Structures are given as C-alpha cells and as structure tokens.
Amino acid sequence: MNVTFRQLSLFESVARNLSFTRAAEELHLSQPAVSMQIRQLEESVGLPLFEKLGKQVNLTEVGREVYHYSQGINRYLTEMEEVLESLKGLNRGHLHVAVASTVNYFAPRLMAAFHKAYPGIDLELDVANRERLIQLLVANAVDMVLMGQPPDSVEVESEAFMQNPLVVVAPPGHPLNGKRQISLERLAEEIFVMREPGSGTRQAMERFFQEHQLTIRQGMQMTRNEAIKQAVRAGLGLGIVSAHTIELELETGRLVMLDVESFPIERQWYLVYRKRKRMSPPSRAFRNFVLSEAQNVSDNRER
C-alpha cells in the first residue's frame, strides 16, 4: 500500500471535520486538491473511505479504521517536529490541555502565566465534565488533563499539584449562617443541590457522608458549578463546592461559607496523562510549570 504522510494529514482533516470544504479551508488548499488526494488514498487502500448522503459526508467502516491510525501517525509526526525544534533551541510547539469545569475557575490564570513564560507555545484549552475528560484520556486525545480524583478505569500517571478543599455554601439569609461548628447531623437535615452522578465533587460528597453514616437529602441536580451556585442563591438548598469556585461570590456577599465540623473535605487537584505517554517538550514544560507554579498563581489571585 503506497500511502503518503500528506495524504494521511489531508484525510485526518476531512475525517475530523466531516467536510471537504472545511478541511480545504483549514489547510489553505483548494477543495479539488483535497478531493484528488483523498481519491488517490482510496485507490491505494482499495476501498472507499467516505460515503456521501446528499451533502452529508460520513466515514465508512474502513474510513473509521484509517482515521484511528492517521490520528496516531499525525500525533507522532507533531511530537517529532516539536522534539527536533526543541533540540534547535526554539521555543515552539503546541499544547492541548483539558480541564474539569471546576478547574476552569483558575485554569485561565494558570494558562496565561504559562503563556507568558513560554510565548512560543500555542495553547489549546478544553473544559469538560469528568466523563468527557475520561473519554479524552482513553482516546489519548489531549496532552494533559487537570482534574480531581484520577480515574481508575484508565492507565494514567497522576501528580497532585494543589489543594482542592470542598466547602458548604448557603445564601446569606440561611438560618445556619453565623453558627459555629455546625454538626454533621444538623447539616444532614438540609436539602442539597447536587452535581450529576459521576462528578468528582459528587463522589467525594457521597463518600464523605457515607463514612459518617449519614444520608444526603438530595434536591435539584445540576451539571455545572454556576448552576449549583445560582440554585443555592435562590434558596433551593445548600451546596458543596470547591473553595476555588466561590471567590467572587464570597467577596460580593452573594454566598456564605458555613462553619461545619469536619469541613472542608480535603482533596487535591491532579495533573493527569496517559501512562507510558511520550511527553513532547511543551508537555514537559507545562508539567514542570504546573507542579512548581500553580499554587503561586492561585495565591496571587486570592490576594
């Protein structure tokens, strides 16, 4: 089979976009040039890679297999290019980071500080829930993930880089506001606005109450921290959230943090990546930066 790297690169773009037009725009080529390369690739493979239903372009079964391998080949080529550039002493490369939605409250500051230190590295940031982050790790589709508890279902390396305390929040007019050392038994009488099943915050919350042999009274269920905070402000229940997500609300008095015994729940933020993954120079730089500077970036914002 006579396949060129150029053909695989063009194919990867068409398959990812499911559009010859968007791929041509992305690669700064004419659509006929892209179509010709794909036809040559299909002739070499001996089977069609795409099927068209009207204007819709879809991958065939063979196309899905080729797409899987083309992603890996393109990633290795990118890594090789970055390694070679780094050996030349150039500050260049691309870094794709995915973060949990709770991490996103300080991730932009962290990424901005990293970009200032390494201005030649192009940054790509995705914000996703825990389920999506695990999918990205399984597919090896990102360089690094910043999240809470690392998954057990994927072979990953994980390194704790910062404390992630979970606290109880309430609206300012709540009867428990101002009380000292509220007992867990009294807290369990309250209704809680919850994150979705599978959320790292929810898992930690449920585990905490189970360890203390208490049952949570669940109210509304939300998929975003912003929705949790809005629901708590509206008086729909108490919330348990990362302390990093409520800096603005505490400063403006929109929410209060309750003084509850055994709180905060002490957790960690983790830098996570696939086990045995070969790190590119930008990835190594980012790992070292996060482990050494993340706490400083967070502390500077709090001051």
Name, in order, each residue with C-beta under 8 angstroms of 24's C-beta and a sequence gap of 6 or more: 30, 31, 33, 34
Residue in 220, 218, 261, 222 with CA at minimum distance from that of residue 245: 222
Domain finish residue from 17, 44, 74: 74
The arithmetic mean of pLDDT across residues 258-262, rounded, is 95
Please check whether residue 251 lies inside any domain of the structure: yes
Span 133-167, pLDDT tens digits = 999 999 888 999 999 889 988 999 999 999 889 99
> Mind giving me the DSSP string for 118-149?
-TTEEEEEEEE-HHHHHHHHHTT-SSEEEESS
Please check whether residue 187 lies inside any domain of the structure: yes
> For residue 303, what pLDDT band results from cuts at 50, 70 and 90?
very low
Please check whether residue 85 lies inside any domain of the structure: no
More confident: 105 or 33: 33
The arithmetic mean of pLDDT across residues 288-302, rounded, is 79
Please check whether residue 83 lies inside any domain of the structure: no
Is the pLDDT at 38 greater than 60? The verdict is yes
Name, in order, each residue with C-beta under 8 angstroms of 62's C-beta and a sequence gap of 6 or more: 45, 47, 48, 49
Please check whether residue 291 lies inside any domain of the structure: yes
Is the pLDDT at 79 greater than 80? The verdict is no
How far apart CA 267 and CA 89 sit, in angstroms, is: 38
The arithmetic mean of pLDDT across residues 82-109, rounded, is 77
Place of tokens 């991958």: 59
The reported pLDDT for the residue numbered 301 is 56
The reported pLDDT for the residue numbered 239 is 95
Name, in order, each residue with C-beta under 8 angstroms of 218's C-beta and a sequence gap of 6 or more: 191, 192, 194
Residue in 168, 147, 112, 170 with CA at minimum distance from that of residue 289: 112
Range of the domain at 194: 166-257
Is the pLDDT at 300 greater than 80? The verdict is no
Please indicate, yes or no, whether the overall pTM of this predicted structure exceeds 0.75: no
> For residue 85, what pLDDT band results from cuts at 50, 70 and 90?
low
Same domain, yes or no, for 135 and 218?
no
Q: Any idea of the CA torsion for 244, 97, 27, 39, to the nearest 10 degrees?
A: -130
The reported pLDDT for the residue numbered 209 is 93
The reported pLDDT for the residue numbered 88 is 57
- CATH code of the domain containing 203: 3.40.190.10
Name, in order, each residue with C-beta under 8 angstroms of 280's C-beta and a sequence gap of 6 or more: 78, 79, 82, 83, 93, 95, 143
Is the pLDDT at 92 greater than 90? The verdict is no
Is the pLDDT at 87 greater than 60? The verdict is no
Same domain, yes or no, for 65 and 107?
no
β-strand partners of 240? 168
The SS3 assignment for 183 reads coil
Please check whether residue 84 lies inside any domain of the structure: no
Same domain, yes or no, for 172 and 236?
yes
The reported pLDDT for the residue numbered 289 is 92
Same domain, yes or no, for 185 and 202?
yes
Q: Hey, how many other C-beta atoms are within 10 angstroms of the C-beta on 237?
A: 19
The reported pLDDT for the residue numbered 263 is 94
Percent of the chain with pLDDT over 90: 57
The reported pLDDT for the residue numbered 71 is 87
Span 4-18, pLDDT tens digits = 888 998 999 999 999
> For residue 72, what pLDDT band results from cuts at 50, 70 and 90?
confident
Q: What's at 212, amino acid-wise?
A: H
* 29-68 as b/e: b if 16+ CB within 10 A: eeeeebeebbebbbeebeeebbeeeeeebebeeebeebbe
Average confidence score pLDDT of the chain: 89
Answer for the pair 273, 151: CB distance below 8 angstroms, yes or no.
Answer: no
SS3 per-residue string spanning 203-251? HHHHHHHHHCCCCCEEEEEECCHHHHHHHHHCCCCEEEEEHHHCHHHHH
Q: Is 8 left (phi over 0), alpha (psi -120 to 50) or beta?
A: alpha
Using only C-alpha atoms, the chain has a radius of gyration, in whole angstroms, of: 24
Domain count, the chain: 3
Rounded to the nearest 5 degrees, what angle is found at the Cα of 23, between the Cα atoms of 21 and 25? 70
Is the pLDDT at 118 greater than 80? The verdict is yes
The arithmetic mean of pLDDT across residues 18-27, rounded, is 91
The arithmetic mean of pLDDT across residues 16-34, rounded, is 91
Span 223-248, pLDDT tens digits = 888 899 999 999 999 999 999 889 88
Same domain, yes or no, for 158 and 174?
no
